[in-house]
Structure 1
Amino acid sequence: MRILKKIFISIVVIILLFFAGIWIYFNSLKPTYAGELQLDNIEDETSVYFDDYGIPHIYAQNQEDALTALGYVHAQDRLFQMELMRRIAPARLSEIFGKDMVKNDLFFSKLGIDEASKKTIEKLDKNSETYKLCTAYLNGVNQFIENGPTPIEFTLIGIEKEKYTLKDMYNILGYMSFSFAMAQKTDPLLSVIQQKLGENYLKELNIDSNPNSTFIKTSKSTIESFENLIVQASEVLKTSPIPPFIGSNSWVVSSKKTTTGKVLFANDPHIGYSQPSVWFEAHIVTPNYEMYGYHIAGVAFPLLGHNRKYAYGLTMFENDDIDFYQEENNPTNNNQYKTANGYSNYTTTSKTIKVKNEDDILVEIKSTNHGPIMNNAIDGISQTEPIAMSWIYTKIDANVLEALYHISRATKMADIKKGVSMIHAPGLNIMYGDADGNIAWWAAGKLYKLKSNANRKFILNGASGEDDVEEYLDFNQNPMAENPSWNYVYSANNQPDTIANILYPGYYLPEDRAKRIVQLLEPKNNWTKETMSQMINDNTSSVSSDIIKEFTSIMDYNSFSKNEQNAIDILQLWDGSNTIDNVAPTIYNKWIYLYLKNTFEDELGEKLFNQLNATHLMKRMIANQIEKENSIWWDNVNTNNIKETKKEILTTSFTQAINSLENQLGDNIMLWNWGKVHTLEHPHPIGTISYLKKYFNVGPFPMNGAREVIDNRGFEYNDSGIYKITAGPSTRRIIDFSDIENSISILPTGQSGNPFSKHFKDQVEMYNKGQFRKMKMNKKEIITTSTKLTILPKNE
Structure 2
Amino acid sequence: MPPNTTASSGHKPGKSGRKKGRKARLLVLVLVMAIIGGIVYGAYWSVSTVRASLPQTTGSITLDGLSGPVDVKRDSYGIPQIYASSDADLFMAQGYVQAQDRFYEMDVRRHMTAGRLSEMFGKGQVKNDEFLRTLGWDRVAQKEYDTKLSASTKKYLQAYAKGVNAYLQGKDGKDISLEYAALGFRNDYKPQKWTPVDSVAWLKAMAWDLRGNMKDEIDRALMTSRLGPQQIADLYPEYPYSRNQPIVTEGEYDEYTKTFDGGDSSSSTSTSGTTGSTSSSSGSALTSQLAGLSNVLDDLPTAVGVNGQGIGSNSWVVAGKNTITGKPLLANDPHLEASLPSVWYQMGLHCRAISSTCQYDVSGYTFAGMPGVVIGHNQNIAWGMTNSGVDVTDLYLEKLSGDGYLVDGTTKPFTTRTETIKVAGGASKKIVVRETDNGPLLSDRNDELVNVGKKATVDAAAPDRGDGYGIALRWTAEDAGTTMDAVFAIDKASDWSEFRSASAKFDVPSQNLVYADTKNHIGYTLPGRIPIRGKGDGSLPVPGWDSKYDWTGYIPQAALPYEYDPKRGYIVTANQAVIDKDKYPYTLTTDWGYGTRSQRITDLIQSKIDGGGKISTDDMRQMQLDDSSEIAKLLVPKLLKIDEPDADVREAQKLLEGWDYTQDADSAAAAYFNSVWRNILKLAFGNKLPKELRVEGQCLFVSPVDTTGPADEDNKKVRECGERDADEAQPDGGDRWFEVVRKLMDDPTNAWWKTPASGNRPGASNMNQLFKRAMIDARWELTAKLGKDIDTWSWGRLHRLFLKNQTLGTDGPAIVQYILNRGPWKLSGGEATVNATGWNAAGGYEVVWVPSMRMVVNLDDFDKSKWINLTGASGHAFSAHYTDQTSKWVDGELLPWSFSSKAVDGSTSDTLVLKP
Normalised by the length of structure 1, the TM-score is 0.92
2:364 match = 293
1:737 aligns to 2:859 (yes or no): yes
SS in structure 2 of the partner of residue 284 of structure 1: strand
1:583 aligns to 2:677 (yes or no): no
Shift of 1:27: 1.5
Shift of 1:198: 2.3
Letter of the structure 2 residue corresponding to residue 791 of structure 1:
L
The answer to whether the 8 Å contact 2:511/2:528 transfers is yes
1:613 aligns to 2:734 (yes or no): no
The answer to whether the 8 Å contact 1:272/1:728 transfers is yes
From the superposition, tell whether residues 244 and 163 of structure 1 become closer, same or farther in structure 2 (CA, over 3 Å).
farther
1:249 aligns to 2:314 (yes or no): yes
1:672 aligns to 2:743 (yes or no): no
Shift of 1:182: 4.0
Shift of 1:515: 1.7
Given candidates 748, 772, 783, the residue that maps to 1:629 is: 748
CA distance in 2, matches of 1:401, 1:235: 28
The answer to whether the 8 Å contact 1:439/1:482 transfers is yes
The answer to whether the 8 Å contact 2:653/2:775 transfers is no
Which of 356-365 and 305-314 deviates more? 356-365
The answer to whether the 8 Å contact 1:315/1:429 transfers is yes
SS in structure 2 of the partner of residue 249 of structure 1: strand
CA distance in 2, matches of 1:57, 1:628: 59
Which of 50-59 and 605-614 deviates more? 605-614
1:355 match = 423
SS in structure 1 of the partner of residue 82 of structure 2: strand
From the superposition, tell whether residues 723 and 357 of structure 1 become closer, same or farther in structure 2 (CA, over 3 Å).
same
1:726 aligns to 2:848 (yes or no): yes
Matching of residues 126-275 of structure 1 within 5 Å = 128-147=151-170, 149-158=175-184, 159-218=189-248, 219=251, 221-237=285-301, 246-275=311-340
Letter of the structure 2 residue corresponding to residue 527 of structure 1:
I
CA distance in 2, matches of 1:668, 1:13: 48
1:758 match = 880
Matching of residues 357-396 of structure 1 within 5 Å = 357-375=425-443, 377-379=445-447, 382-383=450-451, 384-394=468-478, 396=479
Which of 315-324 and 216-225 deviates more? 216-225
CA distance in 2, matches of 1:700, 1:303: 29
From the superposition, tell whether residues 185 and 345 of structure 1 become closer, same or farther in structure 2 (CA, over 3 Å).
same
Given candidates 515, 534, 542, the residue that maps to 1:432 is: 515
Matching of residues 705-724 of structure 1 within 5 Å = 705-718=829-842, 722-724=844-846
Given candidates 306, 312, 317, the residue that maps to 2:388 is: 317
Shift of 1:476: 2.5
CA distance in 1, matches of 2:138, 2:40: 50
CA distance in 2, matches of 1:319, 1:659: 41
The answer to whether the 8 Å contact 2:667/2:794 transfers is yes
- Deviation readout 1:315-341 (Å, 9 max, x if unpaired): 1111111111111123xxx21211126
SS in structure 1 of the partner of residue 347 of structure 2: strand
Shift of 1:767: 1.0
Letter of the structure 1 residue corresponding to residue 435 of structure 2:
S
Identity level (%): 25
CA RMSD of aligned residues (A): 2.6
- Deviation readout 1:752-773 (Å, 9 max, x if unpaired): 1112322112112211111111
1:546 aligns to 2:634 (yes or no): yes
CA distance in 2, matches of 1:71, 1:575: 48
1:661 match = 782
2:653 match = 568
2:718 match = none
CA distance in 2, matches of 1:294, 1:424: 20
Letter of the structure 2 residue corresponding to residue 355 of structure 1:
V
SS in structure 2 of the partner of residue 603 of structure 1: coil
CA distance in 2, matches of 1:344, 1:208: 39
Shift of 1:270: 0.9
1:59 match = 83
- Deviation readout 1:481-516 (Å, 9 max, x if unpaired): 111111101111112213633563143223221121
CA distance in 2, matches of 1:625, 1:224: 30
CA distance in 2, matches of 1:660, 1:15: 42
1:4 match = none
- Deviation readout 1:361-383 (Å, 9 max, x if unpaired): 22221111111111152328624
SS in structure 2 of the partner of residue 466 of structure 1: helix
1:787 match = 910
2:484 match = 401
- Deviation readout 1:462-497 (Å, 9 max, x if unpaired): 111222223421112223211111110111111221
CA distance in 2, matches of 1:625, 1:359: 56
From the superposition, tell whether residues 15 and 505 of structure 1 become closer, same or farther in structure 2 (CA, over 3 Å).
closer
From the superposition, tell whether residues 237 and 14 of structure 1 become closer, same or farther in structure 2 (CA, over 3 Å).
closer
CA distance in 2, matches of 1:621, 1:493: 18
SS in structure 1 of the partner of residue 547 of structure 2: coil
CA distance in 1, matches of 2:780, 2:556: 56
1:340 aligns to 2:428 (yes or no): no
The answer to whether the 8 Å contact 2:79/2:346 transfers is yes
CA distance in 2, matches of 1:589, 1:205: 20
SS in structure 2 of the partner of residue 494 of structure 1: coil
From the superposition, tell whether residues 615 and 419 of structure 1 become closer, same or farther in structure 2 (CA, over 3 Å).
farther
- Deviation readout 1:614-636 (Å, 9 max, x if unpaired): 59654653544444434332334
CA distance in 2, matches of 1:169, 1:18: 35
What is the count of residue pairs matched by the alignment?
Answer: 769
CA distance in 2, matches of 1:756, 1:268: 27
Letter of the structure 2 residue corresponding to residue 593 of structure 1:
R
Shift of 1:547: 2.2
CA distance in 1, matches of 2:616, 2:543: 53
SS in structure 1 of the partner of residue 671 of structure 2: helix
SS in structure 1 of the partner of residue 223 of structure 2: helix
1:691 aligns to 2:852 (yes or no): no
* Consecutive unaligned residues in structure 1, runs of 5 or more: 1-11
From the superposition, tell whether residues 573 and 15 of structure 1 become closer, same or farther in structure 2 (CA, over 3 Å).
closer
CA distance in 2, matches of 1:225, 1:347: 21
Letter of the structure 2 residue corresponding to residue 446 of structure 1:
R
1:277 match = 342
Shift of 1:705: 1.1
Letter of the structure 1 residue corresponding to residue 93 of structure 2:
A
CA distance in 1, matches of 2:645, 2:405: 61
Shift of 1:607: 4.6
The answer to whether the 8 Å contact 2:213/2:389 transfers is no
The answer to whether the 8 Å contact 1:183/1:507 transfers is yes
- Deviation readout 1:726-753 (Å, 9 max, x if unpaired): 2111111011122211211111121111
Larger Cα-atom Rg: 2
CA distance in 2, matches of 1:606, 1:580: 33
Letter of the structure 2 residue corresponding to residue 678 of structure 1:
H
The answer to whether the 8 Å contact 1:366/1:373 transfers is yes
The answer to whether the 8 Å contact 1:509/1:619 transfers is no
Given candidates 884, 893, 903, the residue that maps to 1:771 is: 893
1:93 match = 117
From the superposition, tell whether residues 648 and 381 of structure 1 become closer, same or farther in structure 2 (CA, over 3 Å).
closer
SS in structure 1 of the partner of residue 226 of structure 2: helix
1:649 match = 770
1:7 match = none
Which of 376-385 and 81-90 deviates more? 376-385
From the superposition, tell whether residues 421 and 341 of structure 1 become closer, same or farther in structure 2 (CA, over 3 Å).
farther
CA distance in 1, matches of 2:842, 2:730: 13
The answer to whether the 8 Å contact 1:363/1:380 transfers is no
Matching of residues 423-502 of structure 1 within 5 Å = 423-452=506-535, 454-498=536-580, 500-502=584-586
Shift of 1:254: 0.0
CA distance in 2, matches of 1:363, 1:212: 51
